[in-house]
Amino acid sequence: MKRTAAYRLDDIAKRLGGSVVGNADVIISQVATLESAQAHQIAFLANSKYRAQLDSTKAGAVILSAADAEATSLPRIVCNNPYAYFAKLSALLNPPPQAVAGIHASAVVGEGVVIHAGVQIDANVVIGEGAQIGANSIIMAGCSIGAGVVIGENALLYPRVVVYHDCVLGNNLIAHSGVVIGADGFGIAMEEGRWLKIPQIGRVVIGDDVEIGANTTIDRGALDDTVIEDDVKLDNQIQIAHNVRIGAHTAIAGCVGIAGSASIGRYCRIGGSAGILGHLQIADYVEVSSFTLVGKSIKERGSYCGIYPFSTTQAWRKNAAQVRHLDELADRVRLLEQQIENLKK
């Protein structure tokens, strides 16, 4: 897809702030890494330890912090937060898809559906009765929107997202392909040797400015709602069970599983493939490492980890064999300590 926007370096600074050092006339049409940038591209240095890359870059200009401002003679924009600056400049050069108002002839729109101004509905979309689609939203090919769903403004649903009935999605939502919002939570009760299904009658309620990665699933609540607060960012293939609450500004990496009724604070960061057991409370500003199972509530902000260290399989075999006897080993050490005390006497 063609991108034709291009800006002079001083135009960029006028729009996004920062101060220009060097040739302000250089024309920038794209962002790139320091390694691969060409003359019409701007790169960024967010971490001083990569300063050496400035020497060899072919970028037309660079974004960097005051601390690194003199580390290159290239035309540059000096700013407080180069990574955030780069994000904003890239968004200027690579604007997100804009809705082209209209409903594709193959879309199937139920009775009483309210579609606000500027909405784009693509091929094979199915919208259940009474749903509402906010202004300027884009619903791409093959999405299925259940009855009574409410979607905010400027939402972007990529192809084949499914939203079950009655869920509420905020403004500026981005949901990638394969996302399923509002499927039944895993609620079953055993009676006389067979499972009974517990109807899942809550909803999923999602705030504004949320992004949801490909094939992530968010189950509807059993009785009350599952809640995703504003500015939550979810990567791919995350599983969020019924009645989970995720606090605003929390970011969760791929393949994480969060069990039912867990409540996660604001500004948390959860690493890839981590897990959080059900009914736990996690405080604000908690970081959980990749591959860590959080098995009890975390009441203090901070960084938490529970990864088994990897090694060669040969070394692992020896050490893992001892893991199975750790309690016994501790007993033996305790006994040795007593014996030493006795010998000393």
Per CB under 8 A, contacts with a second copy among 248-277 are 249, 251, 253-255, 257, 259, 267, 272-273, 275, 277
Token couple for 161: 């997202």
Select the residue interacting with a second copy from 24, 71, 135, 141 (CB under 8 A). Answer: 141
Select the residue interacting with a second copy from 29, 237, 281, 297 (CB under 8 A). Answer: 237
Angle at 234 between CA 230 and CA 237, to 5 degrees: 150
Backbone angles phi and psi of 166, in degrees to 5 = 75, 0
Residue 242 appears among annotated catalytic residues: yes
The piece of 11-19, 20-28, 63-71, 120-128 that touches a second copy (CB under 8 A) is 120-128
| Cβ contact 65:105 at 8 Å | no
Pairing of strands 156-157, 138-139: parallel
Question: Three-state SS across 121-138?
Answer: ECCCCEECCCCEECCCCE
Select the residue interacting with a second copy from 176, 206, 228, 244 (CB under 8 A). Answer: 176
Q: Distance of alpha carbon 302 from its chain centroid, rounded?
A: 20
Least Å distance, CB 109 to a second copy, is 10
* Residue 100 in contact with a second copy, rule: CB under 8 A: no
Q: Which of 40, 104, 176, 242 is catalytic?
A: 242
* Residue 223 in contact with a second copy, rule: CB under 8 A: yes
Total interface residues for a second copy by CB under 8 A: 131
Report how far residue 42's alpha carbon sits from residue 29's, in angstroms, rounded to the nearest whole number.
8
Least Å distance, CB 22 to a second copy, is 22
* Residue 280 in contact with a second copy, rule: CB under 8 A: no
Per CB under 8 A, contacts with a second copy among 326-345 are 326-327, 329-330, 332-333, 336-337, 339-340, 343-344
Per CB under 8 A, contacts with a second copy among 20-49 are 30-33, 36
* Residue 177 in contact with a second copy, rule: CB under 8 A: yes
Handedness of CA 22, 23, 28, 32 (dihedral sign): negative
Q: Distance of alpha carbon 115 from its chain centroid, rounded?
A: 28
Token couple for 90: 């890239």
DSSP state of 261: T
Least Å distance, CB 241 to a second copy, is 6
Cβ closest to a second copy, residue 52 vs residue 343: 343
Angle at 235 between CA 230 and CA 240, to 5 degrees: 70
The piece of 21-29, 50-58, 70-78, 161-169 that touches a second copy (CB under 8 A) is 161-169
Least Å distance, CB 18 to a second copy, is 13
The piece of 11-19, 52-60, 64-72, 134-142 that touches a second copy (CB under 8 A) is 134-142
> Residue 184: CA atoms inside 13 Å, Cβ hemisphere, count?
7
Burial class of residue 80 in the structure, from the number of CB atoms within 10 Å of its CB (0-12 exposed, 13-18 middle, 19+ buried) = exposed
Per CB under 8 A, contacts with a second copy among 192-211 are 193-199, 201, 209, 211
* Residue 235 in contact with a second copy, rule: CB under 8 A: yes
* Residue 281 in contact with a second copy, rule: CB under 8 A: no
* Residue 295 in contact with a second copy, rule: CB under 8 A: yes
* Residue 314 in contact with a second copy, rule: CB under 8 A: yes
Cβ closest to a second copy, residue 73 vs residue 345: 345
List residues bridging with 239 in a β-sheet: 217, 257
* Residue 312 in contact with a second copy, rule: CB under 8 A: yes
| Cβ contact 115:109 at 8 Å | yes
Report how far residue 140's alpha carbon sits from residue 160's, in angstroms, rounded to the nearest whole number.
7
Report how far residue 111's alpha carbon sits from residue 109's, in angstroms, rounded to the nearest whole number.
7
The catalytic residues are 242
